[in-house]
Amino acid sequence: MVDQAADKEWPKLEPIRTGLRGRCPRCGEGRLFQGFLKLADGCDQCGLSYDFADPADGPAFFVICFGCVPAVTFALMLEIWTSASLLTQLLVTGPMLIATCVLPLRPLKGWLVCSQFFFKAGEGRISRPWSPYGAGGPQVQPPKRRW
């Protein structure tokens, strides 16, 4: 099945749809995750190996920026405005922090992995020596002084 799967023409699936559902980026059917955040070794339906996937700290970065900052700001404002007790803080902001910081990690990681497959992302390689101003270096004339 794996040999036939490599030769088969697969439809282009949107990374947002397959990633948020935790499905294989190639066939859209197999599972992407083995646990909550651990990627499976490969797709159980089409045989795609997930060795290409490396979302690194991307999901955590997005969650920190768009989930943690507003949630912590809310917790601080709740304390400033109401002088809430510790129990109130735990009961109100605890679930809010879990909902905004932990729950989005899996869909975001799935989206990033599926985007890597869709856009054929890989390590950057420089094929020739790099020069910031082209091959000959900077061609800038010094400014003329007006005295």
For residue 134, is it within any domain? no
pTM of the model: 0.75
For residue 51, is it within any domain? yes
Mean pLDDT of the chain: 86
For residue 94, is it within any domain? yes
For residue 35, give the DSSP letter.
S
Nearest to 49 by CA among 20, 29, 14, 25: 25
- Return the pLDDT at 9: 84
Query: Who has greater pLDDT, 1 or 55?
Result: 55
Domains: count for the chain = 1
Q: Residue 93's pLDDT band (boundaries 50, 70, 90)?
A: very high
For residue 144, is it within any domain? no
- Return the pLDDT at 132: 64
Helix, coil or strand: residue 75: helix
Residue 1 has pLDDT above 50, yes or no: no
Owning domain of residue 11: 2-118
- Return the pLDDT at 123: 76
- Return the pLDDT at 10: 86
